[in-house]
Amino acid sequence: MEAALLDKLIRSPKAELHMHIEGSLEPELIFQLAQKHGVTLPYPTIDALRAAYAFTDLQSFLDVYYAGAGVLLDADDFKAMTAAYLARAHADNVIHTELFFDPQTHLERGVSMATMLEGMEAAMVDAERDHGISSRLILCFLRHLSEESALETLAQALPLLDTYRHRLVGVGLDSSERGNPPSKFERVFAAAREAGLRAVAHAGEEGPADYIWQALQLLQVERIDHGVRAVEDAALVQHLADTRVALTVCPLSNLKLCVFDDLEKHTLKTLLDAGVAVTVNSDDPAYFGGYVNANYIAIAEALQLNEAELHRIVANAFDAAFIDDDARRTMRAAVDRHWLQ
Ligand code: HPA
Ligand code: ZN
């Protein structure tokens, strides 16, 4: 990529809409927290943990990711993890971010919903003050677990909405996609929307385009996380373009989890050319080899994206963010000023 464009891309204000906070845990912090709590990890050293990052598919990653998250026990742990991500995101010029968290993986280890929220909230308040970064939380249900477990998890969160309504703005759906269709979670998403929460879902990462239709029609989501397999259904691509439902695409994740064997084969540009509101995000940056700027650079180089296309993709994320119209106008204006200067 031309140096001036690369520099402009790096310095651009950005919004990140697809990042699992547990996926930002760097090995050093995992080992530090394991030592603090006397937790024994299935990997004896940092090098052994890093050696396990040779993933072949989504499940091979999730096994390591849930093991890493096992060191999170008290509010300070959640605060330290969130603070580290927000500082790192700020360095990539992220000015707004919406973070996924996976409460079920912590509830089953005896960590309360209140503990998680208290820790993440503290870091988010500090980061707004210190870096001017705005942030929200999206509670994800683990789709390999039952509908009943998801309903119980939502029930744990609802009483805390009085305190955290400004922060906890939506629900999502993640974990093992194949064999766990959105239809399994129709009732829990209806209950979440009834409580005033926004809805998103992972779909069309490893699963078929039909799961994207299900997420839209049965879960009534406003964004699709990944969605890269939408290209297999022309009517779906047209529908996504017509409705401007954004796709939160994660290029380095797709490469690491072998969704594409080469970034040059990535479907982002096909979708962009068809008028779909694609965005670029880091997914689980500690595991996939790069934070959001690295994802932008990798996909821009692989697909030879030009300045107008990069401006469009950055702007799409602000258009799709769960923020009020005043904040959106201010942030969009900053983006447009940056790209049109
Ligand atoms: N897909 C599904 N579940 C996940 C992911 C992902 O990319 N990252 C963390 N949990
Ligand atoms: Zn994800």
- pLDDT digits over 258-314, tens only? 999 999 999 999 999 999 999 999 999 999 999 999 999 999 999 999 999 999 999
DSSP 275: T
Which two structure tokens, joined as six digits, stand for 153? 């998890």
Q: How many domains does the chain have?
A: 1
pTM listed for this prediction: 0.98
Using an 8 Å Cβ cutoff, are 225 and 172 in contact? yes
| Residue 243: predicted pLDDT | 98
Residues in CB range of 79: below 8 A, 6 or more apart: 119, 120, 122, 123
Nearest to 209 by CA among 291, 146, 271, 120: 271
Q: What is the DSSP letter of 283?
A: B
Confidence at 110, pLDDT banded by 50, 70, 90: very high
Q: Which of 202, 206, 224, 254 for a ligand 1 pocket mutation test, highest count of atoms within 8 Å of Cβ?
A: 202
Domain containing residue 140: CATH number = 3.20.20.140
Rounded to the nearest whole angstrom, what is the distance from the C-alpha of residue 89 to the centroid of ligand 2? 17
Range of the domain at 192: 3-340
Q: Ligand nearest 18 Cα, by number?
A: 2
Distance 341 CA to ligand 2 centre (A): 33
pLDDT for 120 equals 99
Q: How far apart are the first and last CA of the chain?
A: 19
Instruction: Let me know: does 35 contact 99? Beta carbons within 8 Å.
Output: no
| Ligand with minimal distance to 61 CA | 1
**C-alpha pair distances (Å), 25 with each of 69, 84, 108, 287, 309:** 8, 8, 19, 8, 31
Q: Is 118 a catalytic residue?
A: no
Give the Cα separation of 252 and 263 in Å (integer).
Answer: 8
- Residue range 221-239: average pLDDT? 98
Read off φ and ψ for residue 148, nearest 5 degrees.
-60, -45
What is the reported pLDDT for 300?
98
Residues near ligand 1 (Cβ within 6 A): 20, 23, 58, 65, 174-175, 202, 205, 253, 283-284
Return the closest-CA partner of residue 212 out of 279, 188, 220. 220
Closest CA to 10 of 290, 265, 330: 290
By alpha-carbon position, which residue is closest to atom 7 of ligand 1? 283
CA 114, chain centre distance (Å) = 21
Whether 201 contacts 219, CB under 8 Å? yes
